[in-house]
Chain A
Amino acid sequence: MLVDSPPEPRVDTAPAPPNRRALRALGLLVSVALLVLVALAGIAVGARELPLGQVWHGLFHDSGTYADVVVHDRLSRTVLGLLAGTALGLSGAVLQALTRNPLADPGLLGINAGASAAVVTAITYLGVTSLSGYVWFAFLGAALVGALVWLLGGSRGATPVRLALAGMAISAALYGYLQAVMIMDGAALDRMRFWTVGSLASATDTTIRQVLPFFVVGTVLALALARPLNAMAMGDDTARALGAHLNRTRALSMAAATLLCGAATAACGPIVFVGLMVPHAVRSFTGPDLRWILPYAAVLSPVLLLGADIVGRVVARPAEVQVGIVTAVIGGPVFLFLVRRRRTARL
């Protein structure tokens, strides 16, 4: 049998001492400053470097010069990275809290694969070509797989291994289907092979406008779930005694995670490990209180995603390495480290 002891609730509900709270608030401010810096760097760095003064000029006094066009182009890309990063980080944090599983990540749970399979179906069989068309399919696929993994992985007594396996198995089956479709349809292959790696390069203002409502609703929902999810971390019985609505919280959490992850996947393709890494890194200095984890994850995940995007643009200049690949290469070792740590394995 697998090692399988009940999770130890470690939430301190007592209010943190004031100086600790001030420290956390200060940290959040620093994180926001960091995000602004990375975003500016994201506009300045690329196949052609722009000085910060030029970035400023392009942002606020757009006069249509070549450099201003570049700034505008990179601005959409940065904004999309910002939104997608926030979405992935929040959905990862919510999924980890909901499943009480430190290894929960939209990519590892197969939600990305669900979105991919739905999108390829839409492209190949239903002739959908625009993002506004297939964003709905991405949602549908993400939601279906999310529900399936949840059912199969077991809502009660779910171990990290069981959930990860359920997600992995479903991903494997769906990727088999993807491959079959791509073999039969060369045009779909040509479109899908760029979509499935996860990239911010195709960002436009229209893309952003289309997915923005989902991001906003998902973000608000996720942030609002901090308290009930905190209660649920204590175990189902205690949570019920504390007045939490278990089923409602679970359903809303799944909805928030699906909205966020579905929107991110629809806009940039599947990106793994961001939702896994950031909440973990954040937890090490905020403690297990979701009221702090969620805002931190929302701010620091885009820092990671935009940072990875910048790295991807720089390492292979003038070509780029897609951001999904950079995050996987950075995230894999982090995942392995978490697996090898003893407490994680036992949780």
Chain B
Amino acid sequence: MKTSRTTLRTRGGLSFRLDPRALTVVALLLLIALAASIALIGTGDFSIPPGDVLRTLLEGGDARQEFIVTELRLPRVLVGLLVGGSLGLAGALFQSISRNPLGSPDVLGLGQGSTAGALVVIVLFSGGATQVALGALVGGLVTGLAIYLLAWKQGVHGYRLVLVGIGVSAVVTAVNGYLLTKADIVDATRAVVWMTGSLNGRDWEQVRPLLALWAVLVPLVLGQSRALRVTEMGDDVAYALGVRVERVRLLLMVSAVLLTAGATAAAGPVGFVALTAPQLARRTILPRRRGSAGAAPLGPHLMTSMVMGATLLVVADWASQQLFGADQLPVGVVTGVLGGGYLLWLLVTERRAGRI
């Protein structure tokens, strides 16, 4: 495969590989994300022109604008960026570990697990937003642990991980359905809105824990990116090249589960971002190769997937505000519809290439 990579070497023997194409894509995506964020901050019942938004953010504006921007809308956009980034990164990790372009946290049942945790809090304890987030976090982590343990059999293999995830997800879905029938209609509506994934009314309370999570996990995960790429060549090759496969896999799976659970706790299980972001990232970075059936590597483009996820979610949120009016439909509906269409296309093309 020919990509235009260059290597930077320093005198001291350190070297970095640079991929200009990937860097360009990341820069472009960041620009789009920034533009969408500014547009999103300006949208709402009280609309603010983009110039004013920028000025308020950089040097402060009049009191009213400042309150709306920094207290109401900026945290929402930040939550969107952080959640989208987490989901994109987690999706890339899971797809690489399961060696399957469909092996995303939504398909593996992590979203369902978080939902179960949140539903327990909403339905049985009528808890507030913070408790719901906590419930979702616990639910996601427990489900992730359960899937890992159940798929463990002298190591975790891709296909077993996916199938175990599907099985667990079917059971948890049934439990969720049961909890939903036990709720009164007000709680049920609240639960369904939460289950769709929404950024409405998110504030600094959600930003801080997500930032803390990122500070720990993102450097850790990006540091393992080389090991992950080697692991994709197959366990034996990876062992021979000095990668402790099972340890790397465990570390990255725990990180991915934490990222997913954290993101879900903050915004609900926003569908399809984790599935689509890594795929889109891969497609924009790799030059298209025709007729390449078989074992094309998935390539964990972690950084790109993360930025792609953040961009996708913010753009989807902006689109849902434009299409349906402010705070009418949660962002999860838009990502669901877009993701569903993309998924069908993916299934058709990947099937033709024999990769799924």
Contact residues of A with B, CB < 8 Å?
Answer: 1-3, 103, 107-108, 152, 154, 159-162, 164-166, 168-169, 172-174, 176-177, 179-180, 182-184, 186, 189-190, 193-194, 196-197, 272-273, 321-322, 324-325, 328-329, 331-332, 335-336, 339-340, 345
B51 at the interface (CB under 8 A from A): no
Task: Select from chain A the residue with minimum beta-carbon distance to B111.
Answer: A172
B240 at the interface (CB under 8 A from A): no
Asked if A177 contacts B340 (CB within 8 A), the reply is: yes
Contact residues of B with A, CB < 8 Å?
Answer: 99-100, 102, 106-107, 150, 153, 158-160, 162-164, 166-171, 173-175, 177-178, 180-181, 185, 188-189, 192-193, 195-196, 271-272, 294-295, 329-330, 332-333, 336-337, 339-340, 343-344, 347-348, 351, 356
Given contacts A2-B99, A2-B100, A179 and B178 within 8 Å (CB-CB): no
Chain B residues near A152 (CB-CB < 8 A): 344, 347-348, 351
Chain A residues near B167 (CB-CB < 8 A): 332, 335-336, 339
Asked if A179 contacts B170 (CB within 8 A), the reply is: no
Asked if A165 contacts B340 (CB within 8 A), the reply is: no
Chain A residues near B333 (CB-CB < 8 A): 176, 179-180, 183
Asked if B164 contacts A339 (CB within 8 A), the reply is: yes
Q: Could you write out 7 A-B pairs with CB less than 8 Å apart?
A: A1-B295, A2-B100, A177-B336, A177-B337, A179-B332, A321-B178, A329-B175
Asked if A183 contacts B166 (CB within 8 A), the reply is: no
A186 to B188, CA, bound (A): 9
Apart from A2-B159, A152-B348: 11 A-B pairs, beta carbons within 8 A = A162-B356, A165-B107, A173-B336, A176-B332, A190-B188, A325-B175, A335-B170, A336-B150, A336-B164, A339-B163, A345-B163
Chain A residues near B168 (CB-CB < 8 A): 332, 336
Asked if A339 contacts B160 (CB within 8 A), the reply is: yes
A62 to B78, CA, bound (A): 68
Chain B residues near A182 (CB-CB < 8 A): 192
Asked if B196 contacts A183 (CB within 8 A), the reply is: yes
Contacting A325 at CB < 8 Å: which of B99, B162, B178, B348? B178
Chain A residues near B174 (CB-CB < 8 A): 197, 272, 324-325, 328-329
A107 to B167, CA, bound (A): 11
Asked if B189 contacts A186 (CB within 8 A), the reply is: yes
Main secondary structure of the interface of B (DSSP, over half): helix
Chain A residues near B169 (CB-CB < 8 A): 168
Task: Select from chain B the residue with minimum beta-carbon distance to A271.
Answer: B174
A1 to B293, CA, bound (A): 11
Asked if A179 contacts B177 (CB within 8 A), the reply is: no
Contacting A173 at CB < 8 Å: which of B166, B185, B193, B343? B343
Contacting A189 at CB < 8 Å: which of B153, B160, B188, B329? B188
Chain A residues near B330 (CB-CB < 8 A): 183
Tell me, rounded to whole Å, the shortest Cβ–Cβ distance linking B324 to chain A: 10
Contacting A194 at CB < 8 Å: which of B164, B170, B181? B181
Chain A residues near B193 (CB-CB < 8 A): 183
Chain B residues near A331 (CB-CB < 8 A): 170-171
Task: Select from chain B the residue with minimum beta-carbon distance to A342.
Answer: B153
A194 to B181, CA, bound (A): 6
- Residue from the set B99, B106, B174, B347 with the largest chain A CB neighbour count within 10 Å: B174
- Residue from the set B107, B153, B167, B294 with the largest chain A CB neighbour count within 10 Å: B167
Tell me, rounded to whole Å, the shortest Cβ–Cβ distance linking B249 to chain A: 17
Asked if A340 contacts B177 (CB within 8 A), the reply is: no
A253 to B210, CA, bound (A): 50
Chain A residues near B177 (CB-CB < 8 A): 193, 196-197, 322, 324-325
